[in-house]
Amino acid sequence: MLIFIPGCNASAVDEEIDLSDFSVKNINIDGTVSQDEYPFSHNDKDTGIVMHWFNDSNDLYICLESKSAGWTAIGFDPSFVKKNANIILFAMDGENVVVRDDFGDSAYSHSNDQDLGGNIDITQYAGKKVGDGATFEFVLPLNSGDKFDKFLEPGNTYKVILAINSGDTNFDVKHTAASSTTITLK
């Protein structure tokens, strides 16, 4: 099957991507990304994040390559700025990955799902330091059943917000750069 995805590859050149031989079996959640691991990519100029993704009928597989020494975040399907977004934040504490699953409780704030009565719904994650930054990979259910997560459906296009703090790993410290893009789930 060939799918035309405008603007979704890292080089920002539209191309057809052959998904007939691609499977989530290509993806290894280990904090590193290989050249053919993910079929879709977006190089975000504002945050410096290179985002890779793929989905099957149950899960969304994401890789975030970040140049930030602080935290790195991604949010899915906000209704306005951050409001109602499912936000996943990552940082490195030495060689250990720290992760938090948040909910955009207003246009300009977010809170930990667990503090709101929800759950951490990331089923797998890994991260590794790379130079001054890090690479984070994770698996997110398309429908976790958590009221603080977004239901994502294959075939639809969703707004994605990206943010970093360039030097602080405290998730409660404001971002130093932020941006948004869209992704289409296969």
Residue 14 has pLDDT above 80, yes or no: no
Residue 163 has pLDDT above 60, yes or no: yes
Of the candidates 169, 132, 160, 163, the residue with the CA atom closest to the CA atom of residue 48? 163
Q: Pairing state of beta strands 157-164 and 177-184?
A: antiparallel
Amino acid letter for position 169: T
Q: Pairing state of beta strands 157-164 and 96-106?
A: unpaired
Task: Round to whole Å and give the CA distance between 100 and 170.
Answer: 11
Question: Domains in the chain, ordered, with CATH?
Answer: 2-184 (2.60.40.1210)
Put simply, whether the predicted model's pTM sits higher than 0.75 gets the answer yes
Integer angstrom CA distances of residue 142 from 49, 87, 94, 97, 147: 22, 14, 31, 23, 13
Residue 88 has pLDDT above 90, yes or no: yes
